[in-house]
């Protein structure tokens, strides 16, 4: 299957700082990337969908000014959590999809802890 | 009513058992159906991907989609302790919007 990497795998930051998470598709061109958030023992919650070269589409209730998404190329998308607070602590996972297939391939996830 | 319903379990079976995991969905527009496996603190891994109705087999895994009853199944033969994970079903409509609608996930434990 296709490989998606995510960096960093784990990050601890102080309240009020910003954190950037990178998502890369390593062996295919991802026309669409998705960002999810997952709480312990809960299912995936879609935060936003981003298509290369265009603005991300955010799900209802997700603050676009807080969770900045950039999809500058067909292999890279970034999620920046701005002015992080302890309630932003969560497991963030990206996925990537190509134009030819509807399936999504997931990165390994990033565990964010805001102190 | 959620668009994709999945019993969260937990499901516990002995090693070697046949496991049956199921989901139902309500949106007739769904055309793509997927099963993912997620280990604790890891990203989901795509197991099976099916378009429309029918069966698909890959090794010990068989996925079934019955669009008439809006029922999705995943069967695991000769289950192994390494199959212990959370299994998530997902569906999406045809077209350019490939946003997946997820089930809650079923927690499976295969006991040696």
- For residue B9, with 0-12 CB atoms within 10 Å meaning exposed, 13-18 middle and 19 or more buried, which class applies? middle
Kindly indicate the confidence band of residue A100, based on its pLDDT and cuts at 50, 70 and 90: low
E-assigned strands of chain B?
4-6, 11-14, 19-25, 30-38, 45-51, 54-58, 61-66, 71-76, 85-93, 101-102, 106-111
Mean pLDDT (chain A) is 92
Summarize the confidence of residues A104-109 as an average pLDDT.
94
CB of A34 within 8 Å of a chain B CB? The answer is: yes
Residue A109 has pLDDT above 80, yes or no: yes
| Per-residue pLDDT, A99 | 67
| Per-residue pLDDT, A113 | 97
B42-77 pLDDT, tens digit per residue, is 999 999 999 888 899 999 999 999 999 999 999 999
For an interface test with A, the pick among B23, B30, B44 (most A C-beta atoms closer than 10 Å) comes out as B44
Least confident of A47-51, A91-95, B106-110: A47-51
What is the 8-class DSSP label of residue A59? P
B70-103 pLDDT, tens digit per residue, is 999 999 999 999 999 999 999 988 766 678 899 9
Summarize the confidence of residues A62-90 as an average pLDDT.
94
Summarize the confidence of residues A4-16 as an average pLDDT.
97
CA atoms within 13 A on the CB side of B26: 7
Residue A87, SS3 per DSSP: helix
Which stretch of DSSP H or E encloses residue A84? Answer: none
Which of residues A9 and A28 earns the better pLDDT score?
Answer: A9
Residue B104 has pLDDT above 80, yes or no: yes
Q: Which of A97, A107, A109 sits opposite B98 (nearest CB)?
A: A97
Calpha distance B98→B79 (Å, rounded) = 31
A16-25 pLDDT, tens digit per residue, is 999 999 999 9
| Per-residue pLDDT, A6 | 97
CB of B98 within 8 Å of a chain A CB? The answer is: yes
Q: What share of chain A is helix, strand, coil (3-state, %, to 5)?
A: 5, 50, 45
CB of A32 within 8 Å of a chain B CB? The answer is: yes
Summarize the confidence of residues A77-83 as an average pLDDT.
96
| Per-residue pLDDT, A76 | 93
């Amino acid at each position: 299957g296709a490989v998606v990497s995510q960096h960093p795998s784990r990050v601890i930051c102080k309240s009020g700082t910003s954190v950037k998470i990178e998502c890369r598709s390593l062996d295919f061109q991802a026309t669409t990337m998705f960002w999810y958030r997952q709480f312990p023992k809960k299912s995936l919650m879609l935060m936003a969908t981003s298509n290369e070269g265009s603005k991300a589409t955010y799900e209802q209730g997700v603050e676009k000014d807080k969770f900045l998404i950039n999809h500058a190329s067909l292999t890279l998308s970034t999620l920046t959590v701005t002015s992080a607070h302890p309630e932003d602590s969560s497991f963030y996972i990206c996925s990537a999809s190509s134009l030819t297939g509807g399936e999504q391939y997931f990165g390994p996830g990033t565990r964010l802890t805001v102190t | 009513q959620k668009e994709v319903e999945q019993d969260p379990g937990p499901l516990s079976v002995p090693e070697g058992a046949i496991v049956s995991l199921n989901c139902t969905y309500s949106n007739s527009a769904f055309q793509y159906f997927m099963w993912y496996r997620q280990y604790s603190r890891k990203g989901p891994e795509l197991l099976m991907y099916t378009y429309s109705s029918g069966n698909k087999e890959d090794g010990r895994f068989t996925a079934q989609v019955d669009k008439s009853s809006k029922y999705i199944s995943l069967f695991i033969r000769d289950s192994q302790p390494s199959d212990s994970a959370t299994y998530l079903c997902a569906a999406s409509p045809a077209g350019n919007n490939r946003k997946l609608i997820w089930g809650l996930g079923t927690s499976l434990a295969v006991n040696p």
